[in-house]
């Protein structure tokens, strides 16, 4: 199992700072979220930083920003695929459409962008990891890919992988149950905890408040989940995707301590599993 750090955790810190902290805390690699630093610095800068700090860029994640070189919208998943090709990264993480029916215009646009992603990546060996949508409100539950079984079926039908974000699961759904269903499709795991408050805030507000907390500081049953990963010999990335607020990103000293805490939590699970 590879320990990876999402650059989103330390936004808006610079890449050199994020790569340095990841290396100092014992991470194996980075999940690079597409943003202005990639658009301005290019793939060469990312490769250089990874080499300097002895890290691997394990995955590319589509941008969270509303605009991109492609103009934004559903084409941000195409931008992510192009970045993965430029960096020769083995995984690219994309989100599905935020829609309640496939007939909606946005959903149809996303399907066209998704087809383009598959065409771009054909023969490259880069695997798409379609991430499960966050299910926190009644509206979220109506998303076209909200149900784990539906996401699993979509991925199998289109011969792609899945990125399982355990924090995105409903508290009514066990991380272990989701894992058992899709474990042969997993290319990445986003790892964090959640407090389980069903807020009506927008999804970005939720991500910064009650969700994407430090492991062990929420209500998810994470230790049995990690134990199963270790028992099964999962060899993909376990990607820390803790919110900047949970990581206390305003203080580098505090952020470093919190990252050490997260890594220690995983190491303790590994020691328990080998005991």
Query: How, if at all, do strands 127-131 and 161-165 pair?
Result: parallel
Residue recorded with tokens 């199963």: 228
Query: What is the reported pTM?
Result: 0.93
| CATH number belonging to domain 2-274 | 3.20.20.150
* d(C-alpha 16, C-alpha 159), whole Å: 36
Task: Give residue-wise pLDDT tens across range 11-60.
Answer: 999 999 999 999 999 999 999 999 999 999 889 999 999 999 999 999 99
Burial-class residue 184 by CB neighbours within 10 Å (0-12, 13-18, 19+): exposed
Q: Estimate to the nearest angstrom the gap between the alpha carbon of 117 and the chain centroid.
A: 18
In this predicted structure, the answer to whether residue 210 has a pLDDT above a threshold of 80 is: no
Task: Give residue-wise pLDDT tens across range 62-110.
Answer: 999 877 887 789 999 999 999 999 999 999 999 999 999 999 999 999 9
At residue 185 the predicted structure's pLDDT band, cuts being 50, 70 and 90, is very high
Decide: 13 and 254 in contact? Cβ < 8 Å: no
């Amino acid at each position: 199992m590879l320990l990876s750090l999402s650059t989103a955790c330390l936004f808006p810190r610079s890449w050199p700072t994020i790569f340095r902290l990841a290396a100092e805390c014992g991470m194996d690699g980075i999940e690079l979220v597409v943003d202005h630093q990639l658009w301005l610095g290019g793939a060469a800068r990312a490769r250089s930083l990874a080499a300097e700090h002895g890290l691997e860029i394990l995955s590319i994640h589509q941008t969270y920003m509303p605009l991109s070189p492609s103009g934004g919208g559903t084409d941000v998943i195409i931008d992510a695929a192009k970045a993965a090709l430029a960096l020769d990264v083995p995984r690219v993480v994309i989100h599905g459409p935020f829609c309640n029916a496939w007939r909606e215009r946005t959903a149809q646009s996303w399907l066209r962008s998704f087809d383009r992603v598959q065409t771009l990546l054909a023969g490259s060996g880069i695997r798409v990891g379609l991430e499960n949508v966050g299910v926190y409100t009644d509206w979220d539950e109506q998303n076209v890919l909200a149900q784990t079984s539906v996401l699993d079926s979509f991925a199998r039908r289109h011969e792609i992988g899945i990125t399982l974000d355990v924090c995105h699961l409903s508290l009514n759904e066990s991380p272990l149950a989701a894992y058992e269903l899709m474990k042969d499709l997993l290319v990445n795991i986003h790892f964090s905890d959640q407090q389980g408050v069903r807020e009506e805030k927008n999804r970005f507000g939720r991500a910064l408040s009650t969700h994407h907390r430090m492991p062990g500081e929420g209500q998810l049953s994470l230790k049995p989940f990690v134990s199963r990963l270790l028992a099964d010999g999962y060899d993909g990335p376990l990607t820390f995707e803790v919110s900047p607020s949970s990581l206390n990103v305003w203080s580098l000293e505090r952020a470093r301590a919190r990252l050490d805490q997260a890594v220690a939590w995983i190491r303790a699970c590994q020691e328990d599993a080998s005991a």
